Amino acid sequence: MFKNFFPNKILSLNNNLISSLLTAMILVILVGLIYALFISPPDYIQGDSVRIMYVHVPSSFIALGCFGFIGIASILNLIFKIKFMTLMAKSLAPVGCLFSIVSIVTGSLWGKPTWGIWWVWDARLTSMGILLLFYLAYIFTWQFVNNFEKANKITSVIGIIGLFNLPVIKYSVD
């Protein structure tokens, strides 16, 4: 049923594309960052502090997307016992954790000139902080639980529970 999810099948499909996609990705990111941070005009209300949003918003989307994938992979792992989903989720956790840290830091950097304070205890910031805690719990569980099967079940539960935080983050911003 899930023959395309085996690592050797996916690696054989992707080996030729990895280096060219990586080069294209780096170029697009560099051009976008240069344009967003140096060329785009300042906002008429927020001034230059709006440029932080060009890093903050994509970082938040990536952090949410990574955890969404971790949650879905956790569900697939618990139901269908697809170990490759575990490996993909385990490798995505540090990436999502890094982007959630970037999101929180850039949000605080934007909040200081806008609100006059680094941290406000509203739903956006608090739920993003909770997402960071889910990431850390996921990563540290893999780090400190030596039994693979036990760590796999615990992290799958963490991933599924963390899914309920994603709509809170999304709709608190809207």
How far apart (Å, rounded) are the C-alpha atoms in residues 143 and 145? 6
Q: What is the pTM of this model?
A: 0.83
How far apart (Å, rounded) are the C-alpha atoms in residues 33 and 24? 14
How far apart (Å, rounded) are the C-alpha atoms in residues 47 and 114? 10
Domain boundaries, the chain: 1-40, 48-173
How far apart (Å, rounded) are the C-alpha atoms in residues 152 and 113? 43
Over residues 77-86, the pLDDT tens digits come to 999 988 889 9
Using DSSP's 3-state secondary structure scheme, residue 82 falls into coil
| Residue matched to tokens 């996916």 | 10
How far apart (Å, rounded) are the C-alpha atoms in residues 169 and 174? 9
User: Which residues are paired to 43 by β-bridges?
Assistant: 47
pLDDT value of position 1: 53
Distances (CA, A) of 105 to 57, 66, 85, 102, 118: 12, 18, 30, 5, 9
Over residues 142-170, the pLDDT tens digits come to 999 999 999 999 999 999 999 999 999 98
Question: Residue 138 pLDDT > 80, yes or no?
Answer: yes
pLDDT value of position 5: 62
Q: Are 63 and 103 in contact (CB under 8 A)?
A: yes
pLDDT value of position 92: 96
pLDDT value of position 79: 92
Over residues 114-127, the pLDDT tens digits come to 888 988 888 888 99
How far apart (Å, rounded) are the C-alpha atoms in residues 174 and 20? 36
Percent share of the chain, pLDDT over 70 = 91
Distances (CA, A) of 8 to 4, 11, 83, 84: 9, 5, 13, 10
Over residues 27-85, the pLDDT tens digits come to 999 999 899 888 988 888 888 888 888 899 999 999 999 999 999 999 999 999 888 89
User: Which residues are paired to 23 by β-bridges?
Assistant: none
